[in-house]
Amino acid sequence: MSSALPNATDPSRDALNLRASQIVLIEDAQGVGTGVLVGPDGFVLTNKHVAPSLGPYRVILADGKDVRGVGVHQSPHHDLAIVKIALNSPSFLDVNTDIADDYVVGEEVFALGHPRGCRFSMARGIVSNPHREFEKEYYVQTDVSINPGNSGGPLVDRMGRLIGIVTMILSNSQGLGFAVPGHIAGDYVRHVRRLLRSNIVRIPTELLTQADERTNTEEVVKRAVNALVIAGRGAIEEEKAEEGWIKFKYKGAQVTVSLKEGLFTTRCQILALGPGERQNAPFLLKLLELSGGPEVGGAIVNVVENALFVSVSRRAAGLDLEEATWAIDLVANQGVEAPRKLTSLLFSAPPVQSAPAAPTALGPPQVAAAAPLYGGSSYGQPPHAPPAGPYGQPAQGPYGQPPQTGPYGQPPQAAPPFAAPPHGMPPYGAPPQAPYAAPPAPQTPAAGTDPGYPILQIPPPGGYHK
């Protein structure tokens, strides 16, 4: 394999240029990501943390066309999603013929995307490990320079064949990027098409129309709710048009959509509060810090009587269908996801910062959480991983007992590792008979794994949105 860049007579040059013309930029209020056209009907493959909901999204093609797109489906198993645009695309990556399955360590690869907003860029590197396992899922590891904005973009070989869909990097590191393998991405695209053919998943085509006629605000709100219902993202429970509100339910979360006194508001209750919380100044300060932040996707967190709500409000004047749909979908998803997240953030004691452990010869260094690459996105930020021991196994406490942990695997409110021992005890928790604890015996890797590539278990990007 040659490491030279493609030249004017190299057939790989045309293949890479073709693939570069098939990527798109996906943008919403939270940031910028990448996608690749995978069908003549405007199907775009990207990451779930780039397009975690119905949208709609702004999609910019390589030829400069600026269109709208809607989220069709999000994979429950992988960081993959499908966005549909209202354009035919004669040039696209064919998931039936354009996927590589023979790549090896050292294979030259190229990442296409929009790193840090630098649109339609390409970076070069190699495959570092074709089968890196995190949390029982396999990824392609690469040293290609990957930055926020590359998420959802294709990782291809010299002939433009898909090796993977870029999904994450390791925080506080360089040259450690990871992609969902191409064969998994291809299977996912075919699966979504089967769901569409079976009418299990439907495309909200109304959001894709580009009609010029103006409608009043009440009609815009009703169309937005109907678009979500058609897409299978909720159902109308009750409606009182004369009072200006609709009650909308999605996965157990009840969303109230109202239009009163020139203000469009969509809100959902996420927690019940007692008198202690309502009169607790530090608790209320936490709420103020969370409101509008990434933990709630930019929605507002507020207290109304004895309950905690997330909400989005906009002026009714000039409200369009895309903005109304986005607001309702955001609040509905927060109604499902936020209770668990906010309970941990609001009612748990802050973790104690611990000193880093000294490296040993028994296993790989500790690994921080993998960060999704959606430029500026608040979606899918994963929690920090617990400290890792040899071969990615959870660290053990003294004498092989599992350590007690607080929220997100952090040490409880106790002295950090290697704190001064009590009077009369030897240092570092060693038995009284010995000055220092003996190191644990090395653990044997699982059968079938290569000891040269220790398995590092890292949580994949956290739940989608909101």
The CATH code belonging to domain 215-347 is: 3.30.1460.10
| 144 close to 124: Cβ distance less than 8 angstroms | yes
Residue 425 Cα to chain centre, angstroms:
46
**Per-residue confidence of the chain (466 residues) as pLDDT tens digits?**
445 555 656 777 888 999 999 999 998 877 889 999 999 989 999 999 999 888 788 898 998 888 888 999 999 899 999 999 988 888 999 999 999 988 999 999 999 999 988 889 999 999 999 999 888 889 999 999 999 899 999 999 999 999 999 999 888 888 899 999 999 999 999 999 999 999 888 887 777 764 333 457 787 888 888 888 877 888 888 887 777 888 888 888 889 998 887 889 999 998 888 888 888 888 888 888 888 888 788 888 888 888 889 999 988 877 888 888 889 999 998 888 888 877 777 776 554 444 444 443 333 344 444 444 544 443 333 333 444 444 444 444 444 444 444 444 444 454 444 444 455 444 444 444 444 445 555 554 444 444 443 343 444 444 333 3
Place of tokens 């500026």: 376
> What is the model's pLDDT at position 237?
84
By C-alpha distance, which of 290, 305, 292 is closest to 344? 290
- The vertex-9 CA angle with 8 and 13, nearest 5°, equals 65
- Report CA dihedral (59, 60, 66, 67) to the nearest 10 degrees: -30
Token reading at 16: 């890479």
In a 10 Å sphere around its CB, with 0-12 CB exposed, 13-18 middle and 19+ buried, how is residue 430 labelled? middle
- Nearest Cα to 188, choosing from 108, 73, 111, 268? 73
Identify the DSSP state of 247. E
Cα end-to-end distance, the chain, whole Å: 44
Question: For the chain, what are the domain ranges?
Answer: 215-347
Question: What is the reported pLDDT for 5?
Answer: 57
Burial 396-408 (b: 16+ CB within 10 A, else e): eeeeeeebebeee
Query: What is the residue type of 148?
Result: P
Give residue 384's pLDDT. 38
CA distance 327 to 38: 28
The span from the CA of 153 to the CA of 318, in Å, is 34
Q: Mind giving me the DSSP string for 51-86? A: S-SS--EEEEETTS-EEEEEEEEE-SSSS-EEEEES
Q: Residue 312 and residue 58: Cα distance in Å, rounded?
A: 20
What's the rounded Cα separation, in Å, for the pair 448 and 347?
44
* Res 390: pLDDT: 46
- Contact call for residues 295 and 341 (beta carbons, < 8 A): yes
**Rounded-to-integer distance, Cα 257 and Cα 205, Å:** 22
Q: How far is CA 269 from the centre of its chain?
A: 24
Cβ density class 226-249: b for 16+ within 10 Å, e for less: ebbeebebbeeeeeeeeeebbebb
Q: Which residue has the tokens 């990207």?
A: 46
Burial of 32 (0-12, 13-18, 19+ CB in 10 A): buried
Q: Are 69 and 57 in contact (CB under 8 A)?
A: yes
Which segments of 204-299 are extended strands (E)?
A: 235-240, 245-250, 253-260, 263-272
Structure tokens at 166: 């870029």
- What is the chain's alpha carbon radius of gyration, rounded to the nearest angstrom? 25
Please tell me the predicted confidence (pLDDT) of residue 344: 74
